[in-house]
Structure 1
Amino acid sequence: MTQNIGSYDRVIRMALAAAIAAGLLVLGKQFSAPELLAWLLIPLFLLLTGAIGYCPLYGVLGLSTHRPWQR
């Protein structure tokens, strides 16, 4: 699996995942347990793709923000 997420994209994904998860923790009492778990899949997906550097959706669409090191 080749990386297709660049460093800026990874940082943005992880920050966005943290912000969404924090918002869900604050607003969590307004959702039922199944709804909250469903909404938590979004930050989980962002966190995992940011951590491993590969996004399956980018792979399907043929996109890549990853630039290999050039010397």
Structure 2
Amino acid sequence: MLELANDRRRFGSPRLHELLRREELVQNHKRTERIYQEENLSVRTRKRVKRPSHARIVQAGPAGPDEQWAM
């Protein structure tokens, strides 16, 4: 399991379990999950980049007095 986890770093335990099942090495997904945790394996979370939901429009300021009033 460590070899597969090192080769495919973005694979979590469910995907590693499928690979091991194709090679007919495991049958029980709970056992795979337990071994995965015992080996201190985990998929690292990527930092989320916040993006604005829409383009910001800059409003033009008043050109002279008494063109814009506050409420």
TM-score range, shorter chain: under 0.3
Q: Normalized against structure 1, the TM-score is what? A: 0.24
**Higher helix fraction: Structure 1 or Structure 2?**
1
| Larger Rg belongs to | 2
Q: Which has the higher relative contact order, 1 or 2, with Cα contacts under 8 A spaced 6 or more apart?
A: 1
